[in-house]
Copies of this chain bind each other. A is one copy, B any other.
Amino acid sequence: MKGRSARRSQKVAFQGERGAFSEEAARKLLGPSVDVAPCQRFEDVFRSLEQRKTDAAVIPIENTLHGSVHENYDHLLHFNLPIIGETKIRIVHHLIAPPDVPFAKLRRVYSHPVALNQCLAFFARNRQLEKVPFYDTAGSVKMIMSERPPDAAAIASEVAAEIYGAKILRRSVEDDRQNFTRFFLLRRPGKSRSAAPRTGKNSEWKTTLVFSTRNVPGALFRALSAFALRDLNLLRIESRPLRGKPWEYLFYLDFIGRVDEPTAQNALRHLGEQADLLRVLGCYPRGD
């Protein structure tokens, strides 16, 4: 803790209001005393780091119920901001109200539509409560604390309740406990090398890259052979459309290993023979 609070000029950008799950991820990655810069859109997060307004950025990349945050995959390609860390957060939704509002008075619950839809069993048990879509989970806590409607609560994180001085009325109202979001930590290119020296076991690292294949039969299979033939373990693959080339795709791929290690270097050279585009987006310690 002490070591972390010492580097206290650090400022991290994330999307959402104060108390967003991204803020929780940022604190887990950079320590509890990190300065925060909430941004309205994901693009603003990337731009803030690129323009040196912040020292780091934290973005959600995939959720175990909803899948990838595709917009952020697109931004990773267009900005040159390497991934230098990852973490996973369990998404726990709480029912949160101003301290003077009791559960019995509640008639409306504000939150982001995705969060509301992750608490359907709770709403089925409490039919007096109307779901009201709002732009942000933590933002809905901020709103009920400033506007103080007498019959309204919000669904958001514990951190959001703390930050805005609200009270948790019901804990863990989400339907599915297997709800995790994975976040990436990004830096500017120069900083990344010094920040994370690549030491330790190969199996303790992950590499994320993006490539496009020529549009010929078997292209993806041959691309994956660069890893399979060298026993490199792929963790996931995500496809995105290639702009300007309808029905062609980019593939984003995570494998276990350090990018500077000989086997990975051979695999990348092999993949490079077949790929029109190939870029390593980051190499970072596995966060579990």
Contacts and interface: CB of A to CB of B under 8 A. Distances in A.
A145 to B, nearest CB: 26
Contact of A218 (B62, B231, B244): B231
A236 B249 contact: yes
Contacts of A218: 228, 231, 233-234
Contacts of A260: none
Interface string A234-272: 111111110111110100000000000000000000000
A19 B231 CA distance: 52
Number of copies: 2
Contacts of A243: 64-65, 176, 178
A224 interface: yes
A61 to B, nearest CB: 12
Contacts of A224: 220-221, 224
A222 B233 CA distance: 13
A246 B64 contact: yes
Contacts of A245: 178
A183 interface: no
Q: Which 6 A-B pairs have the closest CB atoms?
A: A221-B228, A217-B233, A64-B246, A221-B224, A218-B228, A67-B241
29 contacts: A62-B241, A63-B241, A64-B241, A64-B243, A64-B246, A64-B247, A65-B241, A65-B243, A66-B70, A176-B243, A178-B244, A178-B246, A217-B232, A217-B233, A218-B231, A220-B224, A220-B237, A221-B221, A221-B224, A221-B225, A221-B227, A221-B228, A222-B228, A235-B247, A236-B239, A236-B247, A236-B249, A237-B237, A237-B239
